[in-house]
Amino acid sequence: MKTGAGIVENTEENRQICRKYCGICPTCRHNSLEKYQPDILFCARGESSAPSQKELNCYCPACEIYSKHSLIIGHFCFKR
Ligand code: SF4
Ligand code: SF4
């Protein structure tokens, strides 16, 4: 079932999926994004409030939510 391409719901299930990608990606680890809100699922919850962000690789294109919702580009922790 395809549900609202482009719209990602802020659910615990989606946060668990996101942790497999955002949670281990170089950008997240370098900037300690887990210490700031929103701490995960940036494609649904908006960009991180972490200071002095440095953009490294993004793992979003490998994520099933990314393909399911036809998202593009990635790096949702920095810009939407
Ligand atoms: S949105 Fe992309 S760059 Fe940002 S933490 Fe998630 S996988 Fe990493
Ligand atoms: S597309 Fe990126 S931000 Fe969205 S759930 Fe997947 S890994 Fe997380």
DSSP secondary structure string for all residues of 27-45? HHHHHTGGGSSS-S-HHHH
The pLDDT, as a whole number, for residue 32 is: 95
**Which of the two residues, 73 and 79, has the higher pLDDT score?**
73
* CB atoms near residue 32 (< 10 Å): 11
For residue 75, pLDDT beyond 70 = yes
Domains of the chain by residue range:
12-68
pLDDT digit string, tens, across residues 16-69: 999 999 999 999 999 999 999 999 999 999 999 998 788 899 999 999 999 999
77 Cβ below 6 A of ligand 2:
no
Structure confidence at residue 80 as a pLDDT band (50, 70, 90): very low
The two tokens of residue 1 are: 């079932």
Q: Is the CB of 42 under 6 A from ligand 1?
A: yes
